[in-house]
Amino acid sequence: MRCSLLLVAGLAVGCTSAPPPSTAPATPYVAPALGPSLATVIDDPGGEGFFRAPWPSELRRLPDGRPDLTGFPGHDHFAVAPFFAEAQREIEGFGVSPTIYLRFDRSVASTIVDEAVSEGRIALFAVDDASASSPVALRHRYYPEATTFLPGGTLALRPVLPLEEDRLHALVVLRDQGARGSLSPSPHLAAILAAPTPAHAPVLAKLRAAGVPPEAIAGLTFFRSERATGRLRSLVDGLAQLPAAYRPRLLRAFRRPDLDEAAYRVFEGRFCAPSYQEHPEASPFIQSGGLIRPGDDGRPAPQSVAQTAYASRACGDRMQARFILTAPRDATSPRPLLVYGHGTTGSALSLLGPDGFAALAAEAGVIAVSTDQPLHGSDDPDTARPGSREGFVFRLGPIPIPIPHEGKGAELAFYNVLRPTVMRDNLAQAAIDTAVLGRLLTTPPPGGLGVQLPSVAGPGFFVAGHSQGSQSAVALGAVDPEVRGVLLSACGGDFTASMLERPDAAVPLAIIRRALGAEDGELDGLHPILSLMQMILDPADPATFGRLYREARPARSLLMVQGSHDSMTVAHAAGSLAAAIGAEPLQPIPEPPALLAQLGLAPRAVVQGNAAGGAATFAFAQVAPLPGDEGHFVAFRDAGLRRTMVRYLAALAGPEPPAIRLER
């Protein structure tokens, strides 16, 4: 591989195993003899059209700091105009998985562009330290010819893994393209490189310190990544400061011997919880409502349900919800608590059964509890969550598509791709429900519940989830100091790219593609509409929270379990999350995620103490489903994997980080 200027500077992937110390002197720059100009990188802020300058950019923000989406591709399309209007109101930053767009003034051969990205001649860096960081791994697509949404000569790039939050990043296009020729800066950028503006000067100084002087640059954009996890952090932190009218409390509990299994006893109960999603009367939030809004203090504000159909005298402004709790039959002393989140179309009762997570917890000596996820729980008319019993009309622009609220209807309601703001906040509400229930049950219960609940051992609690429930569990587990361990079944990240690979998404994607007038093969993870959707979803995407586990305090272990050939949590989704966390795969692994191999995470027989300075274990277990079965449900059906999960849960309460091996 030919080394570019950035490689010589000791920065590019492949030429060094780690970034150099920020104080190290840069290699002196020697201007190369430039070949003929292949094209100019368009950068004309005074020009017309969205692609007049690279995106994103700190120079393309509104006065309130939000990204300026004026002219964004597709903004005026009838099918998605409401989506764009809400996006402009709700997007707070550029996200942590942004798609970066730049354009050449004439077509450049795809091979030249591909080589420029792979060799670091087009590269992304964090630039808020003393000098530029090591390059960020990128995936890209070049469009030499115009498509429905993109002009010809457009290059789209996206980080392979989410960026670090709240850091300034710069995308640099080098002039020197080796034997192929060179690229030229626009007159506007050339003037800035010669006499930097106050906004450009610090960025150019960092790049110069890394060996990339202004005269080497043909294209440049810089932007600050969003503090995407801040929304959920504020929700969790705010639980300790809720007004009295919104403080959670247990209402009552009673035995359910009809649901007992040989290994555990079952209790059912009711609790009052703060509901943060506005206008519950509009649930399932297809057209309006469902968003989490800040209060006067800037924190997410709980919303009163007192004047809605979901009000109860016992809970007042709060939402009444049910819980299902199980305890090992032999439990005579306090036991650890596991809070479980069920999958799409499930309910709190999904915890139960001989193959459910309650059985795993009981065998590990752990108490388990679950509540209904947002838009779920329709089997209980008294505590059904808002939207769980209503039908709805899903609209693609003016086109109504009636869907009964069951099966895939429920999934579309929770994962509403035309209102991803609601999808984001459904997941946030699910996470805070888990935090509330965990806190209620790890504090001494009040009297008068009706039955004495099993005694829970603190401090803190474990979280687990399957599929949809795992997505809120992994987010909460990264930011909540009360969480002491995490178990994830069929969990994945990179929402938009993963959605495209789901077999069951083929039909709705075909409808969307036809409505948008997109060409075959045009709708991918770098498409403008999907990139905007990802910006909205970054605050809820599990992959966004992955790197936080490395610094979480107290340290907590995490085990991901997945089936190969899972048609819902596809391999890319699971691999993206495992890579973001740094979860090491266990042997054997039938469908190795490519990202783990690229990071050098080779399968091991046993994983222990590989995180938090040896205080925690991050592991990824994958098994093949039984013949004719679906890989999405191996956590419920594979006996060896279930033994692995039981031993992991039992070890979480011990003094040492779990030693995890895949039992067969």
Domain ranges of the chain: 5-224
Which residue shows structure tokens 């995936």? 139
Q: What would the two tokens of residue 197 be?
A: 């503006």
Q: Which pLDDT score is estimated for 12?
A: 33
Residue in 246, 247, 386 with CA at minimum distance from that of residue 317? 246
485 vs 266: CA distance, rounded Å: 23
3-state helix, strand, coil split of the chain in percent (to 5) is: 30, 20, 50
Q: Which pLDDT score is estimated for 406?
A: 59
> Are 4 and 30 contacting, i.e. CB atoms less than 8 angstroms apart?
no
Answer positive or negative: Cα dihedral of 73, 521, 576, 140: negative
213 vs 625: CA distance, rounded Å: 54
Q: In this structure, which amino acid lies at residue 355?
A: D
| End-to-end CA, the chain | 42
Residues (pLDDT < 70) of the chain are: 1-31, 396-397, 399-411
> Are 574 and 593 contacting, i.e. CB atoms less than 8 angstroms apart?
yes
Q: Are strands 122-126 and 217-224 parallel, antiparallel or unpaired?
A: unpaired
Residue in 659, 621, 656, 657 with CA at minimum distance from that of residue 640? 621
The whole-angstrom distance between residue 400's C-alpha and the CA centroid of its chain comes to 30
Q: Which pLDDT score is estimated for 27?
A: 52
Q: What angle do CA 199, 204, 210 make, to 5 degrees?
A: 150
Helix 468-479 with 420-441: angle, nearest 10 deg = 60
216 vs 173: CA distance, rounded Å: 9
Which stretches within 276-382 are classed as H helix?
357-363
- Say how many C-beta atoms besides its own lie within 10 A of residue 641's C-beta: 22
Q: What angle do CA 131, 134, 135 make, to 5 degrees?
A: 115
Q: Which pLDDT score is estimated for 8?
A: 32
118 vs 375: CA distance, rounded Å: 44
Q: What would the two tokens of residue 648 be?
A: 């992991």
Q: Which pLDDT score is estimated for 132?
A: 78
467 vs 561: CA distance, rounded Å: 11
Residue in 119, 124, 116, 121 with CA at minimum distance from that of residue 168? 124
213 vs 30: CA distance, rounded Å: 10
Which residue shows structure tokens 């930011």? 479
For 132, list phi and psi in degrees, rounded to 5: -65, 150
Which residue shows structure tokens 């005026």? 76
Which stretches within 449-567 are classed as H helix?
468-479, 495-501, 506-516, 528-537, 542-546
Phi-psi region of 625 (alpha: psi -120 to 50; beta: other; left: phi over 0): beta
| Sheet-wide strand order for 154-159 | 100-103, 154-159, 138-143
Q: From residue 613, give the alpha-carbon distance in Å to each of 461, 567, 608.
A: 22, 36, 11
Residue in 223, 155, 187, 179 with CA at minimum distance from that of residue 44? 187
- Say how many C-beta atoms besides its own lie within 10 A of residue 526's C-beta: 24
Q: Which pLDDT score is estimated for 7?
A: 34
Q: Which pLDDT score is estimated for 25?
A: 41
> Are 218 and 183 contacting, i.e. CB atoms less than 8 angstroms apart?
yes
Residue in 449, 580, 451, 482 with CA at minimum distance from that of residue 161? 580
